[in-house]
Amino acid sequence: MGRPPCCDKEGVKKGPWTPEEDILLVSYIQEHGPGNWRNVPSNAGLRRCSKSCRLRWTNYLRPGIKRGDFTDQEEKMIIHLQALLGNRWAAIASYLPERTDNDIKNYWNTHLKKKLKKLQSSSANHHHQSSSSRSDGLFSSFPSSPEHHSSSNRGQWERRLQTDINMAKQALCDALSTMDPKPSSNYSHDHQLEHAKPPLYASNAENIARLLQSWVPKKEPSSSVSTNQHSFCDSMGANKYANSSEETLQNEALFRSLFGAVGSTESPNSDLSHESVSPETSCFFEQESKPMCDGGWNKLSMLEKWLFDDDHYSMPLQENANFL
């Protein structure tokens, strides 16, 4: 007997979610809590696949989700975590409680990949005539996956990776345990979110309010959905991108702080060492942390510290330098 589909293919609506559907879903989850997704569509009166409901909730409606521009700090964490963990977006997202794995994945694919590629090519040109080992080491610090490594080093790489993952988890555990008297060994981002944001559905109402704020009842259901959604996004501060000059400045600052050694001639071990977090970046971190209500980022400073710590930054650099 074959496995039945999670939902009937017939009569199941696909495509963009309407505000009405969002409201139905959020109302249901507020009342019953997330979980048992198989029953959610029927119980909530939605003609949607259970998976679709779950995704909509986790990627869009869940409380505490931050949308819009990624901060430099978030970018750095994503870059470093991607180097460390590969394309394990859920794992990466667990360290960025306000971002979803889908968001991070999209951001990586659309922004950071290009950014790093661009940086890689520019640096390759810059160092073409000089010793290449330096730049190789730098950019090999951001492998897309362990497959990029030679098989002879893979075992070693994996052991180090596992060690660092464990250390990261421990650091995060320590950081989070100070927020919540009930420590958890499970680090799904949902759990972290719940710990970091004590009121379970605190921002649901906010999400819905924002949703409704820009929602004009549509006359033609098929045509206004995306417009509404964009308005929703805009109303949530997702003014997608800053003007280009500002973005350029930010990128430069990012590159300087992230890859401060690029184009310079310091010793190889100085890659992304603590000087990679420039004073202005440190300052930025401080300022950036404060608006995070509940002190979430402040509480995570241990992890940040770990992430930007010399030793851990140098791990992938030094290790990966051997893989090319």
- Which residues here bind DNA, judged by CB under 7 A? 1, 3-4, 6, 13-17, 35-38, 48-52, 54-56, 58-60, 67, 87-91, 101-103, 105-107, 109-111, 114, 188, 190, 226-227, 229-230, 233, 238, 240
- With beta carbons less than 8 A apart as the criterion, state whether 257 and 239 touch: no
Closest CA to 37 of 55, 25, 50: 50
Residue 61 and residue 54: Cα distance in Å, rounded?
Answer: 10
Given the complex with DNA, which of 114 and 159 has the nearer CB atom?
114
CB of 9 to DNA, least distance (A): 8
User: How many angstroms separate the Cα of 288 from the Cα of each of 255, 283, 324?
Assistant: 18, 8, 36
C-alpha atoms less than 13 angstroms from C-alpha of 67 in its C-beta half-sphere: 20
CA distances from 10 to 1, 123, 252 (A): 20, 53, 51
Q: Which is nearer to DNA, 49 or 303 (CB)?
A: 49
Rank residues 102 and 235 by Cβ distance to DNA and give the closer one. Answer: 102
Task: Give least dist CB 98 to DNA, A.
Answer: 14
Which residue in 251, 237, 282, 281 sits closest to 66, CA to CA? 237
d(CA 232, CA 212): 8
Least CB distance to DNA at residue 72 (A): 16
The token pair at 202 is 């605190």
The nearest distance, CB 215 to DNA, in angstroms, is 14
Q: Considering the complex, state which of residue 32 and residue 290 has its C-beta at the smaller distance from DNA.
A: 32
What's the closest the beta carbon of residue 87 comes to DNA, in angstroms? 4
Residue 89 or 306 having the CB closest to DNA: 89
